[in-house]
Amino acid sequence: MRTYDAVIIGAGHNGLAAAVHLAAKGWSVAVVEAKDAPGGAVKTAELTLPGFRHDLAAMNLSMFAGSAFFATYKQDLIEAGLGLVPAPHCFSSVFPDGTSLGVSTDLEKTVAEIHALSPADADAWRAMLQRFGVDAPHIFGLLGSPMPSVAALKVLWKAWRANGTEWLYRTIRLLMATPRGFLDAHFENDRLKAMMAAWGLHLDFAPDVAGGALFPYLESMANQAFGMVIGQGGADTIIKAMTTALEQKGGTLMLGAPVASVEMEGGRATGVLLADGCRITAKKAVIANINPTLLFGKLVPTAPERADFERKAAAFRPGPGAMMIHLAMDSLPDWTAGSALKDFAYVHIAPDMQMMSRVYAEAMGGLLPAEPALVVGQPTAIDPSRAPEGKHVLWVQVRVLPGEIRGDALGTISATDWDAAKEAYADRVLAIIERYAPGLATKILARRVYSPLDLERENANLIGGDSLSGSHHLDQNFLFRPIAGYSRYKTPVGSLYMCGASTWPGAGTGAGSGFLLAKMLAG
C-alpha cells in the first residue's frame, strides 16, 4: 500500500492541472489512469499511416493558451517542451453556392468580407469587437471563478462599478439568450449569423436553445482579437508538458491502472482500490476527474443518506454524440470557395440555421442526420510537422449525432448499432465535403473512423460519444454543473472531490476545474 496526500483518478488535462498545482504546493500526489496513455480527450497518435499524427478528439488549444493555469505555469511548461502554434486564419464557413465567410486576425480582412454581404453588419462587427474588449475581462473572470464564490461576486461587483447596471442586464440577457435571438438582434445577413451560430454546435446549442449565445459570441470575438492556437506536433503537447512538469515536482503518474473502487472509512474517502488489487491511500483528498454518473454509479458504494444525490448524479444528462473521421491526405482539399480556405484551421459546413436546427432535432430523436454539421480541421496548414513533407491530415468532427441509433433520416442506412453503421455514415460525411471540395476522395490515402461508441470506448467519460462530458444547457451549467449545491467540486462524501468537463466551467481545454479545485484545496 502506498500513501499520498492526494490521489487523482484520471489523467485528463484537468486532473493533471490539479496534480501539478498540488505538487507545486508541496503535496505528495499520485495520478492513476486506466488507459496506457494520459490525456483523456486530448491525445495525438498515428491513427492512419506512419508519420501522420492525428488529434484524436480535441484540436483547438486556444482555451489552454488563455487559461489561468497556463499563465501560472507557463515557464515550467515551456521548459518541459510545450509548443503552441498560432493560427491567424481561424475559422470559416462554406456555402452551397461556392462562397465562404471567415474570420482572420486581420480585422480589415474580416470586415471587408462582411462588408461585401452587408455594410451595416460590417459596422456592427466592429462595434461588437469593441464591446468585447469591455466584456472580456469580466466574462472570462466569471468563467474563471468557482461557482458560486466570493471571487465571482467580486467580478460582478467590479463589472458593475466599471460599466453600470445596464451592463449587468445586457450580460445576463447574453447568458440566457438563444444563438438565433442574439444574432438576429445584432446582424442582418444570414450567412454571417450562420458562421457564428456554428460555434453553438461545438457544445450542444442548436440555434433556438436558451443559453447558447455566449459561445458563438466569445469564440467569434476571441478569434478575431487573438486568433486560434493549436499544439506543435499535436494537441498532446500540453499533456506531455504537464506530465513532465508533474514528475519534476515529485508527482507520480500511474498508467494502465484502472480504479475498481473508492475506499471509504467513516463517511469519507481514504483512497482507491485498483483493479489489480493495489491500494493507494489518500491522506487529504481523492479527486475524481470523471463523469459523476461513473463515479457514483460504479466507484463509490451507494448509501441511503446519499440517495438524493446519487439519483441526481445518475440523471446527469449527456449532450449529443460526435463522430471523428481522421484522414491521411496527399494534399489539402481544393475548396470551391477558393484556395485561401486552405489556410484556415477550421472550415465549418453548417450553411444555415435551419439546417442546424434540423440536424439537432434529428439527432435528439435518435436519427442519423440526413446532413450533419461538420467541422473540418486542417492542422497541417498551420503545423506541417504533423505529416510527412508535402502531405497533410484532416480532422473531421461530425457534430450532433445520436448516442443510440433509432433510424436514419435519409432511410438509406439500416443498421441501428454504431459498429455496423459508422463506415456508411462516414461515407455520407465525406460525400458532403466532396460537394464543397471536389476531388477530395482522390486525395485520401487512409482513413480512421471513431463513432460515438468508439469515443466512449476510448474515454468512458464521453458517454454516448458526448465529447462535452455532459450537456451544457442551462439546467446543467453554472450553479447547476454537475448538480445544484455541488458546483464547488465537493461531494457528499468527505474528502472526495470532482473535476473535469462534467464540472464548472465545463468542456474545453482550459484546465479550469482542475486548477480551481487545486487552488481551493492548497491555496
Q: How far apart, in whole angstroms, are the C-alpha atoms of residue 390 and residue 402?
A: 37
pLDDT by residue (tens digit) across 458-517?
A: 999 999 999 999 999 999 999 999 999 999 999 999 999 999 999 999 999 999 999 999
pLDDT of residue 226: 96
User: Which residues, at least 6 apart from 243, have a Cβ–Cβ distance to it below 8 Å?
Assistant: 11, 16, 38, 253
Phi, psi of 438 (to 5 degrees): -55, 140
**Pairing of the two strands 100-104 and 89-94:** antiparallel
Is it the case that residue 166 has pLDDT exceeding 80? yes
Q: Residue 18 in contact with residue 515, Cβ under 8 Å? A: yes
Q: How far apart, in whole angstroms, are the C-alpha atoms of residue 367 and residue 390?
A: 39
Q: Residue 252 in contact with residue 31, Cβ under 8 Å? A: yes
The cell numbers describing 31, all together, are 495520478
pLDDT of residue 45: 98
- 21-to-76, 112, 250, 253 alpha-carbon distances in Å: 11, 45, 11, 14
Query: How far, rounded to the nearest angstrom, does the alpha carbon of residue 241 sit from its chain's CA centroid?
Result: 19
pLDDT by residue (tens digit) across 461-471?
A: 999 999 999 99
Mean pLDDT for 136-164 is: 95
Q: Where in the chain is the domain with CATH 3.50.50.60?
A: 2-39+63-83+234-316+472-522
Q: How far apart, in whole angstroms, are the C-alpha atoms of residue 142 and residue 23?
A: 26
Number of H helices, E strands in the chain: 18, 20
pLDDT of residue 297: 84
pLDDT by residue (tens digit) across 187-239?
A: 999 999 999 999 999 999 999 999 999 999 999 999 999 999 999 999 999 99
Length of the chain: 523
Exposed, middle or buried: residue 304 (CB in 10 Å: 0-12, 13-18, 19+)?
exposed
pTM: 0.96
Q: How far apart, in whole angstroms, are the C-alpha atoms of residue 360 and residue 352?
A: 13
Counting residues of the chain whose pLDDT is more than 90, the rounded percentage is 99
pLDDT of residue 1: 77
- 164-to-104, 160, 170, 354 alpha-carbon distances in Å: 32, 5, 10, 37
Q: Residue 313 in contact with residue 483, Cβ under 8 Å? A: yes
| 3-state per-residue secondary structure call for 62-109 | HHHHCCHHHHHHHHHHHHCCCCEEEECEEEEEECCCCCEEEEECCHHH
The cell numbers describing 369, all together, are 442526420
Name the band, by pLDDT with cuts 50, 70 and 90, for residue 178.
very high
pLDDT by residue (tens digit) across 24-64?
A: 999 999 999 999 999 999 999 999 999 999 999 999 999 99
DSSP state of 317: P
Phi, psi of 214 (to 5 degrees): -60, -45
Partnered with residue 286 across adjacent β-strands are 7, 496
Phi, psi of 501 (to 5 degrees): -60, -25
The cell numbers describing 485, all together, are 449545491
Q: Residue 235 in contact with residue 58, Cβ under 8 Å? A: yes
Is it the case that residue 523 has pLDDT exceeding 90? no
Is it the case that residue 392 has pLDDT exceeding 80? yes
Instruction: Pinpoint the alpha helices (H) of 97-234.
Output: 107-117, 119-143, 150-163, 165-176, 179-186, 190-197, 214-226
Partnered with residue 375 across adjacent β-strands are 348, 397
User: What amino acid occupies position 394?
Assistant: L
2-39+63-83+234-316+472-522 CATH: 3.50.50.60
pLDDT by residue (tens digit) across 317-326?
A: 999 999 999 9
**Pairing of the two strands 346-349 and 373-377:** antiparallel
Dihedral sign (CA 269, 270, 271, 276):
negative
Strands (E) across 57-99 are located at: 84-87, 89-94
